[in-house]
Amino acid sequence: MPAAPLTSLDRLAIHTFTLKPWDLERCCAALSAAGIGGITVWRQHLEPYGTAQAAAIIRAHGLRVPALCRGGFFPHHDHAGRCSAIDDNLRTIDDAAAIGADMVVLVCGAVPGMPLDQARGQIRDGIAACLDHARSCGVRLAIEPLHPMYAGDRSAINTMTQARQICEDIRDPLLGIAVDVYHVWWDDRLADEIRLAGEQGTLFGFHVCDWRLETRDLLNDRGLMGEGCIDIRGIRALMEDAGFQGFNEVEIFSLWRWQQDQDAYLAEIIDAYRNHT
Amino acid sequence: MPAAPLTSLDRLAIHTFTLKPWDLERCCAALSAAGIGGITVWRQHLEPYGTAQAAAIIRAHGLRVPALCRGGFFPHHDHAGRCSAIDDNLRTIDDAAAIGADMVVLVCGAVPGMPLDQARGQIRDGIAACLDHARSCGVRLAIEPLHPMYAGDRSAINTMTQARQICEDIRDPLLGIAVDVYHVWWDDRLADEIRLAGEQGTLFGFHVCDWRLETRDLLNDRGLMGEGCIDIRGIRALMEDAGFQGFNEVEIFSLWRWQQDQDAYLAEIIDAYRNHT
């Protein structure tokens, strides 16, 4: 079924990293003034405030917080490194609870030279070690599969299938998946995996941006919706057909967009959300 | 079984594009002088000579030609475009036969905005339309799965699994797969697919280079073997365990390496071939 056009901004959330030049306060004020429903907070934007003040600012602007970004980076060559990563994730879960975030997004990690299947085992064990604390805090954990071009050092979880396998290994209602169109649009198993995740109750998050054909930078040249080749509306239809009712989160890293006037950019984002999402 | 270290250069072939600043004659002379067994020719390096003269130069230097690069780019929105692509592939097959190349490598193509499964259907039909001519010329066709970061406009075939599906649809002894470590190293189905391809007799080509962690350019920043995170020797072992006995082809696109003295670079390539392949 085709997805209905998005007119309301209630289910729109914007990642603070999308508007990186702005601090959290400026970001909350602009989003709230535009009638946008949610904000996904990155730790870099949280740190200058601390969680209590950040929570007060977000609350004062009436914004909901689908997610805190980001936890993860579980694999390490040594035991101490893996323990330290788990500790860091426990603190991230605390921070998420403190600002009222529904979930922590996990960029799972990879270590150059470590076989990817070994890294996936360490990721599974690391997530499992965090779940009791997540439960006590009422925070969900969302595995975000990352594009295979990040398999070298950012994530050994590069497909929805791999994310599902970890969810099935652990089987905890607090563990699910964040689907980012940038990372998964190319995968011929995408439709099946979204449907399966819907059945398993693991569709936690949905991130949108676009894939620019002339990508100039592997990390920071994502396109605004409509600027690239991803069938974003088609993927949103898959998500909604599978029962997803959460936020549509705009997550764009762009060296070029960050140089632009951010108020004008925000207006473009809203336009692209209505016309190309 | 671990792969034995490569001491002889008999099974080493170098793509002319790896040493892009050199013309075909210079390339043949240098490879031959170094005792390298093969050269894979790109059409850009063939054109200034024409096939008859190019064939004579290659023969005079005693080099074998595992492949001509590249055919493909089958999908188009209109019928005329698809016919024109097939015609171009037929000419490429002629050129391959004329220079004694064993196969034509296919970069299969993708059209921005066309659903990838539709593109894969057009790729299958395009390849099927070329096989009679390939047979009459005694030239094999090798589908090269390209990394998912090229799915937007270069290839809708992004995994070994998708390449195998086309081989199984068509089932022709002249149709197989070129495995490039750069494109497939991240795939958790790689070992299974290489074994299957060995059983099906479709392991036609093997291309090596490395994945640099700090990739600066999506197209032209491949690493020399040993400069990145790919377990090249492990993948070579998979290929050889599956029965592959062809050339190990060094295919590196690098804006940085092309600025280097190419004689010194060739010496580095040989060293990396012996120590990291």
- pLDDT grade for B50, boundaries at 50, 70 and 90: very high
List the structure tokens of B252: 């590196």
Nearest to B151 among A153, A186, A218 (CB): A186
Q: Is the dihedral of CA A7, A8, A11, A12 positive or negative?
A: positive
| Contacts A–B by Cβ distance under 8 A | 53
The 10s digit of each residue's pLDDT in A12-56 is: 999 999 999 999 999 999 999 999 999 999 999 999 999 999 999
pLDDT at B1: 73
ipTM: 0.96
Nearest CA to A63 out of A33, A34, A39 is that of A39
Task: Flag whether pLDDT at B253 surpasses 90.
Answer: yes
Contact B138, B96 (CB under 8 A): no
Percent of chain B predicted with pLDDT > 70: 100
Q: Do B148 and A215 touch (CB under 8 A)?
A: no
H helix count then E strand count, chain B: 10, 8
In chain B, where does DSSP find H-type helix?
24-33, 43-46, 51-60, 79-98, 116-137, 160-170, 181-184, 190-200, 232-241, 262-276
The 10s digit of each residue's pLDDT in B147-198 is: 999 999 999 999 999 999 999 999 999 999 999 999 999 999 999 999 999 9
Percent of chain A predicted with pLDDT > 70: 100
User: What gap in Å lies between CA B211 and CA A151, rounded to an integer?
Assistant: 10
B219 contact A CB<8A = no
Q: By CA distance, what is A216's nearest residue in B?
A: B217
Nearest to B148 among A147, A218, A229 (CB): A147
Contact A65, A38 (CB under 8 A): yes
Contacts of A227 (CB under 8 A, 6+ apart): A210, A212, A272
Task: Flag whether pLDDT at B2 surpasses 90.
Answer: no
Contact A51, A25 (CB under 8 A): no
The full set of domain ranges for chain A reads: 12-270
Q: Which of B186, B215, B218 is best to mutate for the A interface (most A CBs within 10 A)?
A: B186
User: What gap in Å lies between CA B103 and CA B109, rounded to an integer?
Assistant: 18
Contact A209, A236 (CB under 8 A): no
User: What gap in Å lies between CA B96 and CA A258, rounded to an integer?
Assistant: 48
Task: Flag whether pLDDT at B22 surpasses 80.
Answer: yes
For residue B59, give Cα distances in angstroms to A40, B36, B62.
63, 14, 5
Contact B1, B241 (CB under 8 A): yes
Contact B211, B237 (CB under 8 A): no
B221 contact A CB<8A = no
B256 contact A CB<8A = no
pLDDT at B178: 98
Q: Do B147 and A148 touch (CB under 8 A)?
A: yes
B79-98 and B51-60 helices cross at what angle (nearest 10)? 40
Contact B85, B76 (CB under 8 A): yes
Nearest CA to A258 out of A202, A219, A231, A207 is that of A219
List the structure tokens of A232: 């974003």
Nearest to B153 among A185, A188, A213 (CB): A213
In chain A, where does DSSP find H-type helix?
24-33, 43-46, 51-60, 79-98, 116-137, 160-170, 181-184, 190-200, 232-241, 262-276
Nearest to B147 among A149, A153, A231 (CB): A149
Contacts of A96 (CB under 8 A, 6+ apart): A67, A68, A103, A104, A137, A139
Fold of A12-270: TIM Barrel (3.20.20)
How far is residue B150 CA from its own chain's centroid? Answer: 15
User: What gap in Å lies between CA A101 and CA A138, rounded to an integer?
Assistant: 9
Fold of B15-271: TIM Barrel (3.20.20)
Task: Flag whether pLDDT at B104 surpasses 90.
Answer: yes
Nearest to B112 among A117, A188, A229 (CB): A229
The pTM of this model reads: 0.97
A231 contact B CB<8A = yes
The 10s digit of each residue's pLDDT in A157-177 is: 999 999 999 999 999 999 999
* Minimum distance, in Å, between the CA of residue A220 and any CA atom of chain B: 11
Q: How many of the other CB atoms lie within 10 Å of CB of A243? A: 13
Residue type, A92: T
A79-98 and A51-60 helices cross at what angle (nearest 10)? 40
* Minimum distance, in Å, between the CA of residue B28 and any CA atom of chain A: 34
Nearest to B229 among A113, A148, A215 (CB): A113
Contact A86, A124 (CB under 8 A): no
Q: By CA distance, what is A213's nearest residue in B?
A: B152
Portion 129-168 of B in contact with A at CB < 8 A: 147-149, 151-153, 158-159, 162
User: What gap in Å lies between CA A90 and CA A166, rounded to an integer?
Assistant: 19
Contacts of A42 (CB under 8 A, 6+ apart): A15, A16, A17, A68, A69, A70
Nearest CA to B149 out of B110, B191, B117 is that of B110
Q: Do B229 and A162 touch (CB under 8 A)?
A: no
Task: Flag whether pLDDT at A2 surpasses 90.
Answer: no
Nearest CA to A37 out of A15, A60, A14, A18 is that of A14
pLDDT at B248: 98
Task: Flag whether pLDDT at A1 surpasses 90.
Answer: no
